[in-house]
């Protein structure tokens, strides 16, 4: 059982859920989502670990200030929350946008990162759903309020649009619809657009970690993907897995963009096994320097 809590960081309220004891595991949600996206797996993970699941700024019950919604800012926010909570190091589990934040966290604050679990992660290629590309277009702020109103009950028109971009009835449709329903609030809508436009443009994802994945050669890495992900293609995960020879990859058959919801038991088993079977990353600045001097291998 996780408990809802609030921390104040730099004057802004940050909501998070926490439960369990043991090694710290931080669960990072995707864009337009909240810590509730982990509700089917967090209690089980908390049976073995100290689980912390924040709502990013601009999302859920956290504050929605005007400001920086870049991956770097989110990564710094995770660092600040861990410092306030007295957590020295953690395994980062990031879904979609949260995967990009997890990778940025490991890049900016490697001494705080023990392992990475990337779940249907952004930042590993340019392709992304037309739905997100369209939402990033100029002028979308005028359309989103109407879409949010219809999504409140997941109206037939909104459901039809989501189905046409590949979202099937089930967790994909429900989770995206829940996120869209939140966009009726002006501050939430602006934070969503600032976040989205920082990472996605009309041509696809703006940010990619592929050119720096070689620096993760010694970092324990598990990649989890839904085999039928309509938002970010599973090929992104396969390419990242090939680029990091020591990594592990789990493709969940029949799952979409939210594999932790489509197969919660399989997801928990995989994460627990990964943590138990890997030693925390021993960050070595000299080793990273050597890797950088050697240069990135061709992908």
Task: Name all domains of the chain by residue range, CATH numbers in brackets.
Answer: 3-127+206-294 (3.40.50.1820), 130-201 (no CATH)
Report the alpha-carbon distance of residue 49 to residue 26 in Å, rounded: 10
Q: Cite the DSSP H helix spans in 111-204.
A: 130-135, 140-151, 156-164, 171-181, 186-199
pLDDT 10s per residue in the chain (299 long)?
A: 899 999 999 999 999 999 999 999 999 999 989 999 999 999 999 999 999 999 999 999 999 999 999 999 999 999 999 999 999 999 999 999 999 999 999 999 999 999 999 999 999 998 888 777 777 767 666 556 555 544 444 444 444 545 554 556 578 777 877 777 777 788 988 898 899 889 988 888 988 898 888 888 899 999 999 999 999 999 999 999 999 989 999 999 999 999 999 999 999 999 999 999 999 999 999 999 998 998 777 66
Please write down the long-range contacts of 270-277, taking CB distance under 8 Å and 24 or more positions apart.
270/222, 270/224, 271/25, 271/41, 271/45, 271/93, 271/117, 271/222, 271/224, 272/45, 272/48, 274/115, 274/117, 274/220, 274/222, 274/248, 275/23, 275/25, 275/48, 275/49, 275/91, 275/115
Residue 271 near residue 93 (C-beta atoms within 8 A):
yes
Report the alpha-carbon distance of residue 66 to residue 42 in Å, rounded: 30
Report the alpha-carbon distance of residue 266 to residue 250 in Å, rounded: 10
Active-site residues: which are they? 96, 229, 257
Give the position of tokens 């109103």.
149
């Amino acid at each position: 059982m996780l408990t809802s809590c609030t921390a104040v960081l730099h004057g802004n309220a940050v909501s998070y859920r926490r439960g369990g004891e043991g090694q710290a595991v931080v669960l990072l949600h995707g864009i337009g989502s909240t810590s509730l996206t982990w509700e089917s797996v967090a209690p089980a993970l908390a049976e073995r670990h100290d689980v912390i699941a924040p709502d990013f700024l601009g999302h859920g019950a956290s504050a929605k200030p005007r400001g920086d919604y870049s991956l770097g800012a989110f990564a710094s926010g995770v660092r600040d929350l861990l410092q306030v909570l007295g957590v020295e190091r953690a395994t980062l589990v990031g879904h979609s946008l949260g995967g990009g934040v997890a990778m940025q966290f490991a890049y900016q604050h490697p001494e705080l990162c023990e392992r990475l679990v990337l779940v249907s992660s952004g930042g590993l290629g340019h392709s992304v759903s037309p739905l997100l590309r369209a939402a990033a277009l100029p002028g979308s702020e005028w359309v989103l309020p109407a879409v949010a109103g219809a999504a409140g009950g997941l109206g037939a028109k909104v459901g039809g649009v989501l189905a046409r971009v590949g979202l099937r009835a089930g967790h994909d449709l429900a989770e995206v619809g829940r996120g869209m329903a939140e966009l009726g609030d002006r501050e939430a809508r602006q934070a969503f657009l600032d976040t989205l436009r920082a990472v996605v443009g009309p041509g696809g994802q703006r940010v990619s970690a592929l050119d720096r994945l070689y620096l993760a050669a010694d970092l324990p890495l598990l990649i989890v993907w839904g085999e039928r992900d309509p938002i970010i293609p599973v090929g992104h995960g396969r390419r990242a897995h090939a680029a990091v020879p020591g990594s592990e990859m789990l493709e969940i058959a029949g799952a979409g963009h939210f594999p932790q919801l489509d197969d919660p038991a399989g997801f928990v088993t995989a994460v627990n096994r990964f943590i138990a079977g890997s030693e925390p990353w021993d960050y070595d600045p000299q080793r990273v320097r050597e890797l950088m001097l050697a240069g990135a291998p061709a992908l």
